[in-house]
Amino acid sequence: MSDPAFDRRLLDLAARVAMRSVGNVEPNPLVGAVVVRWSGQTPEVIGIGHHRRFGEAHAERAALVDCVRRGHDPRGATVYATLEPCNHTGKQPPCTEAIVQAGISEVVAARRDPNPVAAGGFEALEKAGVRCRVSGASRAAIALADPFVKRMRMGLPWVIAKWAQTIDGRVATRSGESKWISGDRSRQRVHRLRARVDAVLTGMGTVLADDPMLTARDVRRVRRRAMRVVADSDLDLPETCQLARTAGELRTIVACSAELATAEITREKRERLAAAGVVVMGVPLVAGRVDLKALLGRLASEHGVASVLVESGPGLLGSMLDADLVDELVVYVAPMMLGDEMARAAAAGRIAPTLSMAQRYELLRAKRIENDLEVVYRRRS
């Protein structure tokens, strides 16, 4: 059965279940699958599964197990998966094997697996007589593997920038007052987000203005303990700030210029930071600032970072956007108006003097959080 409306419905469902495990499976992809039996034109979902935790069963196997547990026979059924079934033995046996053994007759996947080690699922399945096709009908199912695909192709983590703004797009008053723009529930959701990423990135401006902790507080289940990273080209981070004071408990990295990371004049400062548990990382500079792309690459390669949450002021965010390093925006819009052109905007960059040069985003989700709006955008590739 190949009907875009059904494809979308079934792949949307697979994507929705997979989303439950954000923060539990990375650096593996989020993957969801449903097993469907067609009676004429009507699909009956007889099994649902997703990849729940890094190292554990893949989505397709989980869906097939669910199908049998519910008393259904998967023979002749169709598997809708958000990612092409893997064809390798890693921490898990190949999904292709399970699919063939179960007697599945067709596989519909939202996208091919970009991992060269696991790829080739479609070819192996077709050889065994299972029909395979890619369906682009579900935006949610395609979007699910974006972080994984990016890391595979570019060796860079998935970067999410978050901020809270007024209706007229300001993140602080002209004097820098910003506590609080969004409501309690929105701020709680930010803590939950922090508990699902590998690193939180901020700039020295924010450290000096807010002295933040950047930890996930009052979160029921902390899925990942995010390291804190400060972009601080001049190595100014005070040893007395909250980040340095808690560096013994939570990995804290200060990224400064490669020169200052080894220079004699900073030796004592570096020793004091090291004694507090802060890791000093020397990074090349571009235009006098830390090369953010290089920083992200090293966080991925040296610290296994798959996702980064940027929580910074307009300066660092502007640089991140200028360099086109941000993949996703999570914006809280609070029902508040400043109407002051001197009040601060989210990003101070130089992206676009004309509309035709504007960076374009796609609206992924919007949700009401009490009186705020939580809006998620993705960079258009």
Q: Of 4, 76, 90, 169, which lies in the binding site for ligand AOF, with binding defined by CB under 6 A?
A: 90
What CA–CA distance (Å, rounded) separates 181 from 81?
A: 40
Please tell me whether residue 157 binds ligand AOF under the rule CB under 6 A.
no
Closest CA to 362 of 350, 346, 379: 379
Closest residue to ligand AOF, based on beta-carbon distance: 90
Pairing state between β 158-165 and 307-310: parallel
Q: Of 58, 162, 223, 228, which lies in the binding site for ligand AOF, with binding defined by CB under 6 A?
A: 58
Please tell me whether residue 91 binds ligand AOF under the rule CB under 6 A.
yes
- Catalytic residue, chosen from 60, 106, 311, 328, is 60
Please tell me whether residue 28 binds ligand AOF under the rule CB under 6 A.
yes
Which of Zn ion, ligand AOF, none does residue 91 bind (CB under 5 to 8 Å by kind)?
A: ligand AOF
Give contact residues for Zn ion (rule: CB under 5 A): 58, 86, 95
Q: Of 7, 26, 60, 106, which lies in the binding site for ligand AOF, with binding defined by CB under 6 A?
A: 60
What CA–CA distance (Å, rounded) separates 142 from 197?
A: 20
Distance (Å) of CA 245 to CA 24, 212, 229, 266, 280: 28, 11, 14, 19, 15
56 annotated active-site: no
For 38, the 3-state DSSP assignment is: strand
For 118, the 3-state DSSP assignment is: coil
Distance (Å) of CA 31 to CA 139, 142, 222, 308: 14, 10, 21, 20
Please tell me whether residue 51 binds ligand AOF under the rule CB under 6 A.
yes
Shortest separation between residue 262's beta carbon and ligand AOF, angstroms: 36
Radius of gyration of the chain (CA): 23
Nearer to ligand AOF, 305 or 316 (CB): 305
CB 124 within 8 A of CB 132: no
CA 74 to chain centre: 33
| Ranges within 95-124 binding ligand AOF (CB under 6 A) | 95, 113, 115, 118
Shortest separation between residue 268's beta carbon and ligand AOF, angstroms: 44
Nearer to Zn ion, 54 or 180 (CB): 54
Q: Where do the DSSP E strands lie in 127-268?
A: 131-134, 158-165, 170-172, 199-203, 227-231, 252-257
Nearer to Zn ion, 122 or 332 (CB): 122
Within 8 A by CB and 6+ apart from 6, the residues are 43
Round to the nearest angstrom and report the end-to-end CA distance of the chain: 30
Shortest separation between residue 193's beta carbon and ligand AOF, angstroms: 22
Nearer to ligand AOF, 26 or 327 (CB): 26
Nearer to Zn ion, 95 or 316 (CB): 95
Shortest separation between residue 16's beta carbon and ligand AOF, angstroms: 15
For ligand AOF (CB under 6 A), the number of binding residues is 17
Active site members:
60
Contact set with ligand AOF (CB under 6 A): 28-29, 31, 51, 58-60, 83, 85-86, 90-92, 95, 113, 115, 118
